[in-house]
Amino acid sequence: MPKGFLVWCPGSGYTPNVSDLPTRPKTWSLDTSPVSLVVMEENQLFEHSLWLGIAVKQSELQDNLEGAAHLVERFVAQYLPAALQSSSDQSYERVWLAFWHYLVAPMTRRKPFGLSGTAADELISEYRNEIARYDSR
């Protein structure tokens, strides 16, 4: 595995070693330019900057970078691996429904954002379009 990319999914059979850990601290980027590749590689799907760029385009998150970063962290850690590992169309749709409910849940002390149903639908549509570039589900 290349240095700087640590992707661990439970049940994948891969256990990270200390030598696999990135040597630089995690940084956030607001690169909103589209990815120019026709087909994405799996390691690109776990790039926070890709998802953050999409999230901050949403009107309800433009002025809430903390909320957008929190949303992306949760998406990349929990919902993206679940969507990629889903074994049927029904389980794939269930992942997106769970993510939608997370997005529209009210803002709390631990969740620094809350989206309207329409904004959540738009964000999920954009995220699904990006995943479709890699996963031809």
Alpha helices in 26-137 (DSSP H): 42-45, 48-55, 65-74, 80-85, 89-104, 117-132
Q: Give pLDDT tens digits along the chain (137 positions).
A: 343 444 444 455 555 554 544 444 444 445 554 443 344 567 788 999 999 999 999 889 999 999 999 999 999 999 999 999 999 999 999 999 999 999 999 999 999 999 999 999 999 999 999 998 876 65
Q: Cα separation of 129 and 90, whole Å?
A: 18
pTM: 0.69
